[in-house]
């Protein structure tokens, strides 16, 4: 697992396929908290979402690369309060 301390605020989070997932707000415990601006649309809009650190494959060039493709990684996202988004 990647050292959480090496994850920088405002780093881009991308899937293994290179697709943008979000932007790091900060690391909280065992999760990356994404900024609200990348929260999605509809009922997801305006909420922070979280990605488990266990999905981080590498940090390269200021980007956090996940071990899952973007379409799969978003199924692991949680909203504030711990609810699964999908």
Q: Which domains does the chain have, with CATH numbers?
A: 4-63+75-79 (2.30.30)
Question: How confident is the model over 52-84, as pLDDT tens digits?
Answer: 999 999 998 889 999 999 888 877 776 655 544
According to the model, what pLDDT value does residue 26 have?
95
Q: How far is CA 35 from CA 1, 47, 76, in A?
A: 22, 8, 16
Q: What's the distance, Cα to Cα, between the start and end of the chain in Å?
A: 25
Q: How confident is the model at residue 14 (pLDDT cuts 50, 70, 90)?
A: very high
Q: What predicted TM-score, i.e. pTM, was given to this entire model?
A: 0.80
CA–CA dist 24, 63 (Å, integer):
9
Q: Which two tokens stand for residue 85?
A: 């988004």
């Amino acid at each position: 697992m990647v050292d959480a301390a090496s994850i920088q605020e405002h780093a881009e989070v991308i899937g293994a396929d290179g697709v943008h997932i979000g932007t790091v707000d900060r690391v909280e415990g065992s999760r990356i908290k994404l900024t609200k601006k990348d929260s999605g649309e509809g009922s997801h809009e305006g909420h922070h979402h979280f990605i488990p650190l266990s999905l981080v494959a590498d940090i390269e060039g200021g980007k956090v690369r996940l071990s899952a493709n973007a379409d799969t990684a978003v199924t692991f996202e949680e909203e504030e309060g711990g609810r699964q988004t999908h």
